[in-house]
Amino acid sequence: MAVQASLNANDLAHIESTLSATDALLDRNYPGDDGSRQPVHTVYVPADKFTPIFAADWGAQGLAAIEDFGGLEKLGALLGQDAELAAAVAPRVAAKLTGEPIEDLRLDFEDGFGNRGDEAEDAAAVAAAKAVSAAVDAGTAPPFIGIRFKCFEAPTRARGVRTLDLFVSTLATAGELPQGLVLTLPKVTTVDQVHAMDFAVSRLEEIHGLPAGRLRFEVQVETPQLILGHEGTSPVAQLAHAVPGRISGLHYGTYDYSASLEISAEYQSMEHPVADLAKEIMQLAVAGTGIRLSDGSTNIMPVGAGAEQAWALHGRLVRRSLERGYYQGWDLHANQLPSRFSATYAFYRQGLPAAAVRLRNYVQQTPGAVMDEPATARALANFILRGLVCGAAGAEEVQALTSLNHDQLKALAHPRLASVSS
């Protein structure tokens, strides 16, 4: 005897009505990652130090430093790579330092620029925008580029807004904005500061005839008040929902955050327990929202007699961040570029063979030692895709291992995008 369903159409309609607000919330506030490229790092440089050949100069400096050390394979060994892995990584890093040494560059008007007076900063903001336009036109700009202006706390608020305005307005007047334009709001303490930033960029869009939402921005998480607010709530968890679609990333600020919690200078680090707690909360706050995460920096520079130890430290910290789901970090010196890319490429190349087998078995429904679910398949595809996009592996190599091309990997990593486009 067949069993009949007990709930009728009216019951289902009631359920649909009850969950309509939830459906709207999930659709609006949790769109997932948009599938676009995420840089593996962000380089910060005082705004007046940028020139159209800045990235090439840094790449050359980093490569020269490693050649003086003994070469990229020796660096790989220092970072714990076996001979085979180091030999595979080294030529890719050399090509990266020659062809695209900086993926994301921020011209800094905050700590790296200081207070030089309004006249000097006005001129520097206009000059920076013109230099960025010239670099984009010449094809020498990094894929992502923009500015960090002063924070929206009372003493620096007007100055920060003016620098933002002059930089964006100069770019808009010169023509089309750079495709990879990034704006960084530092030292955020409250949700209201993010509302204020949303207002500022919305007005700039209106004034310059830009599409709504064109000017997205990063938030730097550098204050404990953003992790735990005065009411006992977590403001950082509210940011994505306060201005849906406007925030592109959360960047952890190692030293401001640590100092705010009175961690002595000797122990301020990306791997201090207070840093890990803040970054875990940041991960929870943006899960499913499409907002990207970036780890902070180390201020131990690979120069002089301590270069070898500094490279080993930097490479280990880069690897640590990647293993914890932070796929981006800050670099502060040209000599950090080799260890950034060597550690990053080794991370993806070491994981590629096993990830490729598991993903191929999943797609082809081949029984294997691991039974992966769709969520894990998305993670596997995204891992391989990240390695492919950053240059750790080549398209032919990846396709040979997975039987999937770039578009197929992207569809697996971001199925919602695939369903929308189809």
Segment 6-30 mean pLDDT: 95
Fill in the amino acid letter for 216: R
My answer on whether 73 and 166 are in the same domain is yes
Say if residue 203 is in the same domain as residue 338. yes
- 189 and 159 fall within a common domain: yes
Domain boundary, last residue among 315, 347, 379: 347
Residues in the chain: 422
Let me know if residue 399 belongs to a domain.
yes
- Write the pLDDT tens digit of every residue in 62-88: 999 999 999 999 999 999 999 999 999
CB 254 within 8 A of CB 271: no
Q: Does the structure show a pLDDT above 80 at 353? A: yes
Q: What is the pLDDT of residue 88?
A: 98
286 and 259 co-located in one domain? yes
How many percent of the chain have pLDDT more than 70? 97
Q: Please report whether residue 36 resides in a domain.
A: no
Joined tokens for residue 27: 């659709």
| 257 and 186 co-located in one domain | yes
- Same domain for 314 and 329, yes or no, is yes
5 belongs to a structural domain = no
Q: Which of 347, 366, 382 is the last residue of a domain?
A: 347
Say how far apart CA 41 and CA 155 lie, in whole Å.
30
Segments forming the whole domain that contains residue 284: 41-347
Task: Looking at the structure, tell me whether residues 363 and 333 fall in a common domain.
Answer: no
What's the confidence (pLDDT) of residue 422? 46
Mean pLDDT score, 291-318: 97
Instruction: Compute the average pLDDT of residues 133-154.
Output: 97
Query: Which pLDDT does position 342 carry in this prediction?
Result: 98
Tell me what the pLDDT averaged over the chain comes to.
95
Give pLDDT, residue 219.
98
Whether residue 106 has pLDDT greater than 70 = yes
Could you tell me if residue 416 is inside a domain? yes
C-alpha–C-alpha distance, residues 38 and 353, integer Å: 22
Residue 267 belongs to domain with CATH number: 3.20.20.60
Same structural domain, 126 and 163:
yes
Same domain, 64 and 80: yes
- Of 161-165, 320-324, 354-358, which gets the smallest average pLDDT? 354-358
Which among 160, 260, 167, 168 is positioned nearest to 210, based on CA atoms?
Answer: 168
The average pLDDT across 14-28 equals 96
Same domain, 60 and 156: yes
Q: Is residue 414 part of a domain?
A: yes
Is there a single domain that holds both residue 80 and residue 192? yes
Please name which of 340, 343, 359, 342 lies closest in space to residue 398, comparing C-alpha atoms.
359
23: in domain: no
Query: pLDDT tens digit string along 239-260?
Result: 999 999 999 999 999 999 999 9
Final residue before a domain boundary, out of 292, 327, 347: 347
pLDDT tens digits, 363-422: 888 766 566 688 898 999 999 999 999 999 999 999 999 999 999 999 999 987 765 554
Tokens of 98: 């020659």
Q: Is the domain of 381 the same as that of 336?
A: no
Q: Residue 1: is its pLDDT beyond 80?
A: no
For 329, residues 6+ apart whose C-beta sits below 8 A from its C-beta are 40, 41, 42, 270, 294, 295, 296, 297, 317, 318, 321, 340
- Number of domains within the chain: 2
Instruction: Return phi, psi of residue 263, to 5°.
Output: -75, 130
